[in-house]
Amino acid sequence: MSMQTVGRPTRPETTSQTAPEDRAVGLLQYEPLIFELGGWSKTGVDLPDAAPGAADDLGDLVRTTPIGLPGLSEPETLRHYVRLSQKNHAIDLALYPLGSCTMKHNPRLNEKLARLPGFGDIHPLQPQSSVQGAIALMDRLAHWLKTLTGMPAVALPPKAGAHGELCGLLAIRAAHEARGDARKRVLVPTSAHGTNPATAAFAGYVVEEIAQTTDGRVDLADLESKLGPDVAAIMVTNPNTCGLFERDVIEIARLTHAAGAYFYCDGANFNAIVGKVRPGDLGVDAMHINLHKTFSTPHGGGGPGAGPVVLSAALAPFAPQPWIVSEGGDYRLIEAREGPAAQAFGRLSAFHGQMGMFVRAYAYMLSHGSDGLRQVAEDAVLNANYVKARLQDLMSPAFPDGPCMHEALFDDAWLEGTGVTTLDFAKAMIDEGFHPMTMYFPLVVHGAMLIEPTETESKAELDRFCAALRRLATDALSAKDDTEALERFKAAPVSAPLRRLDETLAARKPRLKWTPPAAPLPLAAE
């Protein structure tokens, strides 16, 4: 079986007279690009002929070239998009084991509430008097975010995690500048999320890396040696990207504050500690919360998302506009630099945040309650440790001593000598019906395989997932003495809609657009 590089996917060989790429495999229908479906000389609807001379009113706006879109009937259009949807893995199909992403089930109740006309049909430029319920919900959401984190203030505008990081760093910069103490460096541990150093650099800071200990946590000695009067902040992901809680987090905060710097915490993994730990009690000054991870909003593929930032009392005055205030039962957004927002660093975005995300998150909080949210964290950690326990006799945990938090991290030491790589193993998971785990991340672990099952998976589903990985692991370990077994991994996936890409060629010579045939396309009217 050949491997696809770029362009049309390669299907399994067949003895049929039909071209392989036009065949269905089981219930999976092959589907070409919509541009390849034909229909250039037709439209999907019947329209009356234009009145004589009507085009004269359009002047030079009359179309003289094809629009470049095929004209498909309703069944053709519907089948095209349904077939495309069947090629996607989704949380509604099976466990989604991506580590560091918290891909958990999103209750349909939340979706229904987000679509209520009073939330789904409003516009950010409406008079505030006409959207009092929406602003009130934002205020209540802000209250619970502050309560859950133990922080006195929250900024709702950030649209995602990295946007929240930028918000926190801009507030930190504003706080330093307000006291005439412009600082240039931000310290970032190797176990932090990759967006942390990128955001710090984007904000104009020089980024310096903090080493990691052999057990996957911040090296306090290295941190202390690099703290100084020019350090603006440290950015720590906690629980970190290795799936571990930073045991020395209070000491990290003490050292940071003693140097006159602020403690930024990446809250992308808040799902593992929500209801159990309040970051404000740990000395955190700013932390973004990915509503689309911890509080159920669906995410992936670039959105949607929301990343509110909670702030300590020292940073609260510098939060971005607008601020929500309640006066006599009426809610309004403070836009001007006045009152408590006098030191705001300015606007972070045009409007007030992601309304649909706010509704979903608040609905999730109300439906769970404080006890339920605490159980979310407990079950997430329990599930990850169950996966680690079920697999550690065959696969090598990156940090075997002690329990993990929300995700189980394995390295590729157990694959040494087999000829099977992390990529091969991940691709073979597709043939078992599972989306691959996060691969080669975090970078501090060689051949990393990062699995986050989340709390929404049942024991039965975890057992099904672990059984599949155990089968694959057993076969991988025998591959060093079995050419056929090795080829099975190198060829994987063989039963997916698309075969494996030549990722090097795809990166160097990507085909990102459809090229029309040489012959001109006809106008739909022809």
Domains 108-365 and 370-501 share a fold: no
Residues 278, 294: Cα–Cα separation, whole Å: 14
Task: Fill in the amino acid letter for 196.
Answer: N
Residues 159, 353: Cα–Cα separation, whole Å: 6
Residues 418, 407: Cα–Cα separation, whole Å: 26
Task: Fill in the amino acid letter for 408.
Answer: A
Closest CA to 233 of 203, 264, 191: 264
Closest CA to 234 of 245, 225, 223: 223
Strand bridging mode 449-451 / 323-327? unpaired
DSSP assignment, residue 501? Answer: B
- Entry pTM: 0.87
Sketch the domain layout of the chain as residue ranges. 17-47+69-87+502-526, 108-365, 370-501
Strand bridging mode 449-451 / 408-410? antiparallel
Please give the structure tokens belonging to residue 441. Answer: 């991340």
In this prediction, residue 329 carries a pLDDT of 85
Average pLDDT, stretch 251-255?
Answer: 98
Please give the structure tokens belonging to residue 74. Answer: 């309703």
- Helix axes 355-391 and 459-477, enclosed angle (nearest 10): 50
Task: Fill in the amino acid letter for 329.
Answer: G
Q: Which of 208-217, 366-375, 499-508 has the lowest mean pLDDT?
A: 499-508
Residue 324: its H or E element = strand 323-327
Q: What is the CA radius of gyration of the chain?
A: 27
Residue range 108-365 in CATH 3.40.50.920: no
In this prediction, residue 3 carries a pLDDT of 36
Is 113 in contact with 119 (CB distance < 8 Å)? yes
Is 171 in contact with 345 (CB distance < 8 Å)? yes
In this prediction, residue 222 carries a pLDDT of 97
Is 29 in contact with 84 (CB distance < 8 Å)? no
Share of the chain above pLDDT 70, in %: 91
Peptide bond into 436 cis (omega under 30): no
Class of domain 370-501 (CATH, top level):
alpha beta
Task: Fill in the amino acid letter for 233.
Answer: A
In this prediction, residue 16 carries a pLDDT of 36
Tens of pLDDT, residue by residue over 505-523, are 988 998 888 777 665 555 5
Give the residue, 278 or 494, on which the prediction is more confident: 278
In this prediction, residue 1 carries a pLDDT of 30
Residues, the chain: 526
What backbone torsions phi and psi does residue 393 show, to the nearest 5 degrees? -80, -20
Tens of pLDDT, residue by residue over 17-72, are 334 455 666 667 788 888 888 777 777 788 788 788 776 777 888 878 877 778 88
Please give the structure tokens belonging to residue 188. Answer: 């970032």
Strand partners, 212: 218
- Cα–Cα distances (Å) from 269 to 245, 253, 347, in that order, read 10, 18, 26
Assign 15 a pLDDT band (cuts: 50, 70, 90).
very low
Average pLDDT, stretch 251-276?
Answer: 97
Average pLDDT, stretch 80-99?
Answer: 89
Task: Fill in the amino acid letter for 443.
Answer: L
**Contacts by residues 197-202 (CB-CB < 8 Å, ≥ 24 positions apart):** 197/235, 198/162, 199/162, 199/165, 199/166, 199/169, 199/235, 200/165, 200/169, 200/233, 200/235, 202/166
Residue 360 has pLDDT above 80, yes or no: yes
In this prediction, residue 63 carries a pLDDT of 79
Strand partners, 287: 265, 310
Closest CA to 307 of 263, 342, 270: 270
